Structures are given as structure tokens and as C-alpha cells.
Structure 1
Amino acid sequence: MASPERERDAAAPRREVLTWLTDMDGVLVHEEVPIPGAQEFIEALQRSGLGFMVLTNNSIYTPRDLRARLLGSGIDVPESAIWTSALATAQFLHDQRPGGSAYVVGETGLTTAMHDAGYVMTDRDPDYVVLGETRTYSFEAITRAIRLIDGGARFIATNPDPSGPSQDGKLPATGAVASLITTATGRAPYYVGKPNSLMMRSALNRIDAHSETTVMVGDRMDTDIIAGLEAGLRTVLVTSGSTPPEQVGTFPYRPTVVHESVADLVDLVEQWAHADPEPPRGPAGQ
């Protein structure tokens, strides 16, 4: 089996890269500790004038909150360049049923996004039950969600992550609570966040970018990389987070390139923006 480094060298992009999408946790930060090279990577993107978005499945915080948290870690990302699963979920529901209603189990990041999308929050015959991440799941709220779904509300969840990190250890996250509700109701949710490529496409639409000239940077093969692949993006796996190098080859799909961290990508931002175009396909390019 070829090493990630050999695959990386053999798979350098031949199409220009005009837009970058990057995951946050495991790529730019661990919790609130910056990963070396993260700020330099963001600065390289800003100097280049290329479009970019920082993506996260975390639905707890608003983009303003996340900007402040990143800034506290020494990483300066504009609020407008942060795209969360809460924003993607609110956008999806607005597109599906404008001006609808929802019973929301989640925190400020999700409720703010839903309000901004024109949704009414209610526990009386809502169009949807929307489940997001929270550090204060209550038995009462989960019970209410179950009864509303039994009554006909459609079930939406921001992301399928079963657990999340904390300073004290693992915490149950949206996917775990969604499984509880599914077991009680027999109804599975529609997940909007990664690995659903819908989140990638909504981020691209947000900045008017095209999949053919976009790269997705992530640290998880089973969320970031598969979502990028299914959205038609080139993908960069950094092994500074969840997927270690020795596990890359065990997946039935692979990223375009593999690097140790975003520090390796700083010089590539400008280089890939001026990559040689791919040769023509078909007989003329064979």
C-alpha cells in the first residue's frame, strides 16, 4: 500500500484552486488551542484574495461567538467566513418550507439561525422538530420532541456526530440524542451537517464558488473528506486531528492529498491558485 506521502506527491492538483473550505476543530484548533500554522494558513488565504469558508458541525455557537473564540486562540477569521451546521440547517429549511415553524432543541447558534431564516419557534403543531447540540439536554425537551414527531412533525438534526470533546472527556452529542429519539419514535432524522455534502454545497453557494475550483481541508475521513468528495471537491486530509495516517488506507475512498497539518498548506495556497490546467479529456488528451 502506498504511503500517504507518496499519494500526496502523485496527486498534486492540476486545476487552479480559487476557493478553500476548511474544517475548524482538528484543523485550525484542538478545543481552543491553536494548531501550529493555522493563523499563517488563514493569513495566506486572506493575502491571496481567494474565497474561503471555515466549516463546523458545532451548532452551539453563532458565527460571532466562533470568531471571538478563534480570535482568543490567535486565529483571525471574519464572521462572514464561518459556516455552521446550524446555518446550513436553517438555510435548508428556509429553502424547503419558507416561513415555517419548528420546535428546536439546541442553543443560541441554532435558535438564532432559525429566527434569522424567518422561522417561528413553537411547541404547538410545528412543521419540524430540529435537534442540535447542547450541553444541557433535558428529559422534558426530548420527551416533547418525541411526542411532536409522533404527532407528525418532520425530524431534522444538524449533524450526526455521536459525541464531542470536553476538557473532562467525551460528551454525548446530537447523533447520540437523535438515536434515542429515533428508537422511541421509529423516525430517523434528516441530517444536514457533514458528512452530508449539502453543507458543502450551501457553503459554496454562500460565497458564489464552484466545486471544480474548490478544495476541502479536513481531519476526518468519515465526515470532511467523504462530504467533500460527494460534493465534487478536491480534498486535503490533515492528520493533526481525528484520522491518523495509518488509518487513511483502510477507507474505500481516499483524499486528493494528505498532509500533516495546515502548516504544510501555507505555501500551497498561492501555488495551487496558479496550477497548470488539466489536459483535455478524450482522444485529444490521451
Structure 2
Amino acid sequence: MSDPKPVECWLTDMDGVLVHEQRALPGAADFIAALTTSGRPFLVLTNNSMYTPRDLRARLQAGGIDVPESAIWTSALATAQFLDGQRPGGTAYVVGEAGLTTALHEIGYVMTDRSPEYVVLGETRTYSFDAITRAIRLIEAGARFIATNPDPSGPSAEGSVPATGAVAALITRATGVEPYNVGKPNPLMMRSALNRLDAHSETTIMVGDRMDTDIVSGLEAGLRTVLVLTGSTRRDQIDRFPYRPTRVVESVAELVPAVAQLGPPATGPAA
């Protein structure tokens, strides 16, 4: 096997890697600071489609983590990019929050409940039975079904809450129509992030806390992967999966020295 190419770019998950709710995890602020100082391109990825990058930047800053708005890539943005490539200037009925509706508005989509081309489902803390019923009827009438991600649940201060995947399952059971999920573990999310950075998979590392989303999507997109144990997947669960991360660390604090030792980034376009 040939030696791996030098690392030029980094992708990192947010929840479970950098923060838990709004509390910074060990080494997170230093990790992002080291990436910024290194001059290496990086993106913070999240399957959560509720918030805009500006909102997420403010949430990270509250935990002492300084991430530029331009370095945040959400499943809402990836979904908007996907739809813009499929049917530019289209129409959609959206169940979700500002992160999703803003992303769709910015690509020129019209939000409507009258014969939309798509039903787009994302996270919200206030899922409406009326909105779900309307989504079901529109899909039955022929609208295409898109979900920002397949996550069945998400964290909150009080415990788990139902997320996009759980509500999508309800709609699928009612309609018999499966959604196309844009977010992780779909490698499309990784590819869209790589394209945003003009990066190559062979020189990029994905850092995540979930074997079944972050690590598998990084693997399928051709990236090296690092699993951190500050989030969902425990060390004793790793061997249950038929694939392995390139490296396992307790937290991103262990990655700070490696990032700090990086030389200046290579010049010229990505390979």
C-alpha cells in the first residue's frame, strides 16, 4: 500500500466532537484554533438543519469556539445545493426551521403548499400534526420526498427528542414513499463539503463521533477518518461494525499537536 498523501483539509462533525448541547468538549477550542492558525481549509459539518450558519457560529462562540460562518456546512445547505442542481428555481413544501427555509430561499426556491415539486423535511422542535398531514397528502399527490438527514433522534437538555428520521418514518408508513436523505451517512454530504473547499478526498480527514454516520460516510467518500469517543459511539462498540476508522482518539484534544505541527499548505489547485 502506498503512503497516504499529506493532509491538506479537515472536515469535522459538530455535536459530540466540538460541543455537547452548548458546552464545549475537551480540546475543541484549541483544535479549531490550531486549524485556523495552520491555514488549512476546514469545515464544521452538522446534520442538524434547524439553524443557519450564523446561528451555529453564535452557539459555538458561546462555548468559546471561534468558527467562521463560512466554515460551517449544514444538511440544510447541502439539501439546498442538491435541489438547486436537480431542479433550479423549484417549489417546495417545507417542514423545518429557519436554517432550512433560509437555505432554500437563497437558491431561489418558492415555499408553497400548492402542488409543490418537493416536500422537504428537516428538524424542528415543534413538529405540527397539521404540517405532517399536509406533507403526507402532497406526497400522495405526487410531490417528491426529501429529508435533510435520517437521524431518528437528537439531544436536548431534557433528553432525546424525535428528529427528522423519526418523522420521515411516520410519513413513509403513511404514504409508502421513502425519502431521499441528503445528510450523513449519504456520502453526498461529504462530496458537497469537499467541493466547497475545492479539496480532494485523498488529502482530507473526517473527524466524527458516530460510526454509523460520520465514519461510514467519510469512508465511502474516500476520506481518512478519526473517531472521537466524546459522543455517541463507545470504544466497546467499534468492533461491531464491519468497517473501522483510520484512528480512534479520546477527544479532539489528541489531534491538536498533529494539526499544530502541519507546515504551510501546498500551493496550487487540489489534485
- Scaled by the length of structure 2, the TM-score of the pair is 0.95
1:81 aligns with 2:71: yes
How many Å separate the matches in 1 of 2:46 and 2:28?
15
From 34, 37, 46, give the equivalent of 1:56.
Answer: 46
Partner SS for 1:181: helix
Query: Identity of paired residues, percent?
Result: 75
Q: Which residue is 2:58 aligned to?
A: 68
How many Å separate the matches in 2 of 1:122 and 1:161?
25
Q: CA deviation at 1:36?
A: 1.4
Q: CA deviation at 1:15?
A: 2.0
AA in 2 matched with 1:256: T
Q: CA deviation at 1:271?
A: 4.1
How many Å separate the matches in 2 of 1:183 and 1:143?
12
Q: CA deviation at 1:73?
A: 0.5
How many Å separate the matches in 2 of 1:273 and 1:180?
50
Q: Is the 8 A contact 1:17 1:273 kept in 2?
A: no
How many Å separate the matches in 2 of 1:110 and 1:99?
16
From 208, 211, 217, give the equivalent of 1:218.
Answer: 208
Q: Is the 8 A contact 1:16 1:272 kept in 2?
A: no
Equivalence map 1:89-168=2 (5 Å): 89-168=79-158
1:227 aligns with 2:217: yes
Q: Is the 8 A contact 2:4 2:202 kept in 1?
A: no
Equivalence map 1:18-37=2 (5 Å): 18-37=8-27
AA in 1 matched with 2:103: A
AA in 2 matched with 1:207: L
Count of paired positions: 263
Q: 1:178 to 1:92 in 2, by over 3 A?
A: same
How many Å separate the matches in 2 of 1:237 and 1:272?
20
Partner SS for 2:44: strand
Q: CA deviation at 1:270?
A: 4.2
Higher Cα radius of gyration: 1
1:203 aligns with 2:204: no
Q: 1:164 to 1:132 in 2, by over 3 A?
A: same
Q: CA deviation at 1:14?
A: 3.5
AA in 2 matched with 1:41: F
Q: CA deviation at 1:207?
A: 1.4
Q: CA deviation at 1:249?
A: 1.2
How many Å separate the matches in 1 of 2:23 and 2:71?
20
1:200-243 CA-to-partner distances (Å, cap 9, x unmatched) read 11011111111110000000000000000001100000111100
From 164, 169, 189, give the equivalent of 2:179.
Answer: 189
AA in 2 matched with 1:82: I
AA in 1 matched with 2:168: A
- Scaled by the length of structure 1, the TM-score of the pair is 0.90
From 253, 261, 276, give the equivalent of 2:251.
Answer: 261
